[in-house]
Structure 1
Amino acid sequence: MAEDKDQKNLNQINIELSEEVAEGQYVNLAMIAHSNSEFVIDFIKMMPGVPKAKVKSRIIITPEHAKRLLMALKDNIDKFENHFGTITQSEEAPKFPMNFGGTIGEA
């Protein structure tokens, strides 16, 4: 019994989440590049009418982890759609800079 408990503790990972990171970042664009040894994913926030966008986070992962991420996203999207219904996609490709239908303010 004690050996089973010790083995369980060896397999646990203590993950720390700071308050700043827990707040999250809103992004509406991801750009992905890769080499033979890594994938680089830039998460970007674009604002309507603003010709400049800011990378909010850059994640660098191995090809194996990229594939695991792809499978995990698919699994979660399937679970989401089973619970909430199909996610619809526009046939139209995004236009840049994005315009969210509001008026463009001037100062």
Structure 2
Amino acid sequence: MMQIVHTKEEFILDFFLASPPQGILASRVIMSPGHIKRMLKALQENLTKYEEKFGKIEEAKGPEVSGESEGKIGFRV
């Protein structure tokens, strides 16, 4: 799971391990808007090359939570 927050000066990408009942912040990446734009361009170029070689990638669905843990995942930072 990933959360993205931004201000005028930076983008913050938080990557979580989301295992109920308590999620944990696994990694935080802080980048300037210029670096984010270059990273997105590099990712898009590589994704295009990958799909040309291996075929179209289907978009993944988000995690499904049901039962006792439904809607009860908290996060520790």
Scaled to the shorter chain, the TM-score interval is 0.7 to 0.9
| Structure 2 counterparts to residues 1-107 of structure 1, below 5 A | 29-47=1-19, 50-89=20-59, 94-95=62-63, 98-99=64-65
Runs ≥4 residues deviating over 2 A: none
- Higher gyration radius (CA): 1
Q: Which amino acid aligns with 1:43?
A: F
Q: Which has the higher strand share?
A: 2
Which one has more relative contact order, counting CA pairs under 8 Å at least 6 apart?
Answer: 2
Deviations 1:76-99 (A, max 9, x none): 111111111100125xx525xx34
How many residues are aligned here? Answer: 67
- TM-score, structure 1 as length reference: 0.55
Deviations 1:39-69 (A, max 9, x none): 000111223xx13211111000000001111
Deviations 1:1-46 (A, max 9, x none): xxxxxxxxxxxxxxxxxxxxxxxxxxxx111000010000011122
Unaligned segments of structure 2, at least 5 residues: 66-77
Percent identity between the aligned chains?
35
Unaligned segments of structure 1, at least 5 residues: 1-28, 100-107
